[in-house]
Amino acid sequence: MNYWLTGLLGLLALACTPASARINCSITSPGITVSYPAGVTLSEQSYFSVSCSRQTGDPLSVTYAVGVDNGLYANGAQNRAREQWWIIPIYMNYDMYRNAACSSAWTDTNNTRISDTITWSGGTDTSLRTKQTAYWTCIPSQTGMYAGAYEDTVTFTLQANNVTTATGVAAVKVYAPAACDFTATPTNINFTYTAFGAAVTASTTFSTECSRLMPYTLAVSPTTGTVVGLTYSLSLSATSATGTGGAQNFTITGTMPAGQPGSCNGAVCTGSVPHTVTLSY
């Protein structure tokens, strides 16, 4: 009898043991979309949302830590977004940070995760609680970039005691707009001409810097002119080019034909005519 009674008590003890309760959490983020002009350092804010629910009897708070990996195209610990239009792999460097100054790295290692706490008001409070936390995507100064769309995907990991570990993904989209500008503008073209004398040439140089592989055109207007009764013409060393991401040099050459008397009534006369150089892309 004692044997069967002991067995029955054992069964009762097992049946009364409560199941281990758990707080359940999930993590989401809208990711980040940013336009990046070459040659600047950029810090762009986004956020992730942690949503947790509990059952009656669960703890009234949960402290969690969120880490982030280095994305799909990392080079070691360096995050990289890949340009999506070119077959050959082209990358832009970026990293994740916990502050806008880009001095506190955010990764998935100890002391670099982002920690926070969600709290409920009482034992019967089983509502879904959500907390948003800011993070920053920082892009260092980079030049010579191809114009286009650079994309990556990072994975967040949420860890907490007595909480189901959760993961979420976010897209990183960086648009490098087509860019083109003068890095050195043309100076004056100065002719020194003697009436009825030989032809004279003079020139000036300038340089441009345009996105890699981006075609652009150059034009000077007007291409001809007259100054103190002397006609001349202007020509460019090239009227079209493809950007390299670095400086490209060009020359404007002016030619004043021979044998012109001019309209000067004194020993020396001077004059000037404005011209415009246009860069189109």
Q: Locate 211 and state its tokens.
A: 């996105």
Query: Looking at per-residue confidence, does 6 or 45 come out higher?
Result: 45
Burial class, 69, CB count within 10 angstroms (exposed 0-12 / middle 13-18 / buried 19+): middle
Looking at 140-214, which runs of residues are DSSP E strands?
A: 148-159, 166-176, 180-184, 200-210
Residue 158 sits in the same domain as residue 185: no
Instruction: For residue 18, name the pLDDT band (cuts at 50, 70, 90).
Output: very low
**Which CATH number goes with the domain that contains 213?**
2.60.40
Residue 28 sits in the same domain as residue 165: yes
Q: Provide the whole-model pTM.
A: 0.68
Question: Looking at the domain assignment, is residue 3 inside a domain?
Answer: no
pLDDT tens digits, one per residue of 134-155: 999 999 998 877 888 999 999 9
> Is residue 9 scored above 80 in pLDDT?
no
Instruction: For residue 162, name the pLDDT band (cuts at 50, 70, 90).
Output: low
How many domains, in total, are found in the chain? 2
> Mean pLDDT, to the nearest integer, of 12-39?
71
> Is residue 19 scored above 60 in pLDDT?
no
Task: Give the DSSP letter string of 33-53.
Answer: EEE--TT--EEEEEEEEEEEE
Cβ(77)–Cβ(93) below 8 Å: no
Residue 148 sits in the same domain as residue 31: yes
Residue 45 sits in the same domain as residue 164: yes
Residues 6+ apart with CB under 8 A from 208: 180, 181, 182, 183, 216, 218, 241, 247, 248, 250, 279
Percent of all residues in the chain with a pLDDT value above 70, rounded to a whole number: 92
Q: What is the mean pLDDT of the chain?
A: 89
What local confidence, expressed as pLDDT, does residue 179 receive?
84
What local confidence, expressed as pLDDT, does residue 11 receive?
25
What local confidence, expressed as pLDDT, does residue 280 receive?
94
> Mean pLDDT, to the nearest integer, of 46-75?
95
Instruction: For residue 213, name the pLDDT band (cuts at 50, 70, 90).
Output: confident
Instruction: For residue 211, name the pLDDT band (cuts at 50, 70, 90).
Output: confident
What is the DSSP secondary structure assignment for residue 78, as one 8-state letter?
B
Cα–Cα distance between 213 and 68 in angstroms, integer?
Answer: 34
Supply the range of the domain harboring residue 147.
20-176
> Mean pLDDT, to the nearest integer, of 216-223?
96
Domain final residue pick, 176, 210, 230: 176
> Is residue 108 scored above 70 in pLDDT?
yes
Residue 276 sits in the same domain as residue 147: no
Residue 75 sits in the same domain as residue 204: no
Burial class, 195, CB count within 10 angstroms (exposed 0-12 / middle 13-18 / buried 19+): middle
What is the DSSP secondary structure assignment for residue 170, as one 8-state letter?
E
- Give residue for tokens 């032809």: 199
Question: Looking at the domain assignment, is residue 11 inside a domain?
Answer: no
Query: Looking at per-residue confidence, does 7 or 152 come out higher?
Result: 152
Cα–Cα distance between 238 and 130 in angstroms, integer?
Answer: 60
Neighbour tally for 242: CB within 10 Å: 12
Cβ(146)–Cβ(211) below 8 Å: yes
Helix (H) or strand (E) holding 223: none
Residue 136 sits in the same domain as residue 236: no
**Which CATH number goes with the domain that contains 147?**
2.60.40.1090
